[in-house]
Amino acid sequence: MLKPVRFVPAGTKIRFVDKRRLAFALSAIILLSSVFCLTSLGLNFGIDFRGGILMEIRGSGEVNIPQIRDKLSTLGLGEVSIQEFGKKTDALIRIQRQDGAEKEQMAAIKKVKDRLGDIFDYRRTEFVGPTVGAELKEAGIIAVCLALLSILIYIWLRFEWQFSLGAIVALSHDIFSTIGLFALLQYEFNLATVAAILTIAGYSINDTVVVYDRVRENLRKYRQLELSEVFNMSINETLSRTMMTSVTTLLALCSIYFFGGEVLADFALAMIWGVCIGTYSSIFIAVPILLYVKLKRGEGDYSGLQVPEDER
């Protein structure tokens, strides 16, 4: 019978909880840097949020992006972004919202079509107004807040309020640092990024729940051990599973980032960062916080589901 693959040797006894002060300091630096980037640089909102024109074109052969950029740069339309879209024959043109109403936007679209000519097939033309952009921004914020609230309630019901507090602190840490990364790099922040943030929340909480399940089990089994010893044991027992999940996910995300084209690059980058920071926070933030929330061994039902042996 084949033995399961392990990224971490059996019997590993790394004292993660003992390094909590260093981890908290690192997290504080990351969060303060995120705040600084958000306040000084701000987010580079995409057309989804700030409004503008989006055009998808297809040529008979490979699209020459620099040539199209040169043609459109002299039209006086402001910021124009052009990128390959899926196939080499397709391109996506993003134009900042023009001053004025719908008439001015339609005039800008006509200018682009006149300059590029009939050699392209204009497959899609969209205009996002400022009102719609503001509504989408509000909807994105509500979606993230509702996701956090739902996770808080789920962890509270499955474990205890102390666990839900640790999970939300770690999760907020992951989400806020991801937003800070986009502010630092000035990558476009759009609806796809919001989708990535929500996906990061789901991935991160999955890691945290696995460790919390083992913590709950060990609290029942080892009532005489110090809490820090129980936490270290629980993290080490689930470390192989955590690392294997993270590495295999990163392999797929790196493939998307490097070979998926510019359209998927921002989404993949957010996910790559989210997987890394989510794995870190599940180990160094979510569990050590339980030391500071007066977790009592007698609270809750610690006879819940046990993590299978092959995930130890």
By CB neighbour count within 10 A (0-12 exposed, 13-18 middle, 19+ buried), where does 223 fall? exposed
Q: Long-range contact list for 32-36, CB < 8 A, 24+ apart?
A: 33/180, 33/184, 34/176, 34/177, 34/179, 34/180, 34/181, 34/183, 34/184, 35/180
Neighbours of 206 (CB within 10 A): 13
pLDDT-derived band at 154, boundaries 50, 70, 90: confident
Residue 193 contacts residue 48 (beta carbons within 8 Å): no
Say how far apart CA 162 and CA 275 lie, in whole Å.
24
* Confidence at residue 296, expressed as pLDDT on a 0 to 100 scale: 67
Asked whether residue 48 carries a pLDDT value surpassing 80, the answer given is: no
Inter-CA distances, 98 with 106, 109, 170, Å? 10, 10, 41
Residue 136 contacts residue 260 (beta carbons within 8 Å): no
Asked whether residue 8 carries a pLDDT value surpassing 70, the answer given is: no
Asked whether residue 180 carries a pLDDT value surpassing 50, the answer given is: yes
CATH of domain 17-44+133-311: 1.20.1640.10
pTM, entire model: 0.74
* Confidence at residue 131, expressed as pLDDT on a 0 to 100 scale: 63
Which of 68, 70, 95 lies closest to 81 in space, CA to CA? 95
Residues sharing a CB contact under 8 Å with residue 293, sequence separation 6 or more, in sequence order: 162, 165, 166
In this predicted model, what pLDDT tens digit does every residue of 86-105 receive, in sequence order?
778 888 888 877 777 778 88
Kindly give the pairing relationship between strand 80-85 and strand 87-96. antiparallel
In this predicted model, what pLDDT tens digit does every residue of 181-237 receive, in sequence order?
999 988 888 888 888 888 888 888 888 888 988 988 888 888 888 888 989 999 998
What residues does each domain of the chain span?
17-44+133-311, 52-128
Residue range 52-128 forms a domain whose CATH class is alpha beta
Residue 283 contacts residue 27 (beta carbons within 8 Å): no
